[in-house]
Structure 1
């Protein structure tokens, strides 16, 4: 590649190389983007409004969410609103010894939590009630973080496989409301997919809550 050439995914032959390229590009872009605290607050407000106005949210009895990292969309106001609206809310707790996780119900965004884990992500206390995968209803809105998405629902996570493993446990996964959460700068055209990768069917970013192509 010449010095004036801007690399793209098509410069890499293997799926592994393509994923590594996309992850690095997204992380580099997010460093500057997420340093703007005003922009982050605006995004959180926009996300809250667009989701709570959607039919998918209004019909959901359960919001399956996550505790955002510093370079992820802040959905905490959305989780707080869901609790206030009388919906059940669950967030993940990671296994110490493997790349597995389980979701636990939370009652609030303070006392339900323990110290941060090795990834510096807040987790629900093990004293919280576990939400078994087979108990997640079809009306649940499942919010899924990711580094890169496209408009066909392809997702690229951080490479540890937590979500791909967990989502594979859900029955009728094709009928579920799976919503990828990211900033618009992390939406791209081409995202490599492998056999076990699961697509989302909604995308949530600062511009709205968007149904995706099948």
Structure 2
């Protein structure tokens, strides 16, 4: 299975870059797709991300959510894990992380895991990936950051699971028929593309 995943990852990395090169400015379409997530209007806390290597640009959606008074957090790589820090702007004094992705400084408020008591529900977790299936399976970049984060988060808030929406954000071309899955893989509840929001 590892060989199959490695081969698929290489193929999808090229597809993501191609989508970014030919897709034009689709940030408004992704904003509309994210705002079509069921229950998004009543969501108090959003975990988001800054794009990397051709991933969709969702910064307009992040900005709008901040303006609306929601708590928005983005990840920082800390060792082998992701810590999510609350932000109040997409143009803050971010630092380039291990992969060149803008990250909050370690001194910024850590919403998860340190201050998880400040998380308000319902919550939405927007996450990138190299590929998704229409059944909700996700193929990451292979380092397991989101796998570990989701496992910890959903375990910590097991009693609030129905109030947590996992949303994959991807180009339409990243949705494929078959993704090799393992027992620890966690499925998303919906997919947000440049065309629409697909419910799983």
Per the normalisation by structure 2, the TM-score is: 0.89
C-alpha separation in 2, matches of 1:27 and 1:59: 34
For residue 8 of structure 2, what is the aligned residue in structure 1?
22
* Structure (1/2) with the larger strand percentage: 2
Cα RMSD (Å): 1.6
For residue 46 of structure 2, what is the aligned residue in structure 1?
63
User: Is the Cα contact below 8 Å between 1:62 and 1:87 reproduced in 2?
Assistant: yes
Question: With CA pairs under 8 Å and 6+ residues apart, which has the higher RCO, 1 or 2?
Answer: 2
Per the normalisation by structure 1, the TM-score is: 0.84
1:24 Cα deviation after fit: 1.1
1:117 Cα deviation after fit: 1.4
For residue 21 of structure 2, what is the aligned residue in structure 1?
35
1:192 Cα deviation after fit: 1.1
For residue 35 of structure 2, what is the aligned residue in structure 1?
52
Give the greater-gyration-radius structure (CA). Answer: 1
For residue 179 of structure 1, what is the aligned residue in structure 2?
167
For residue 118 of structure 1, what is the aligned residue in structure 2?
98
Moved more, 136-145 or 187-196: 136-145
C-alpha separation in 2, matches of 1:118 and 1:92: 12
1:193 Cα deviation after fit: 1.0
1:53 Cα deviation after fit: 4.4
Moved more, 72-81 or 124-133: 124-133
For residue 130 of structure 1, what is the aligned residue in structure 2?
110
Moved more, 65-74 or 133-142: 133-142
**Structure 1 residues 194-209: aligned runs within 5 Å:** 194-209=182-197
1:109 Cα deviation after fit: 1.2
1:61 Cα deviation after fit: 0.4
SS at match of 2:32: helix
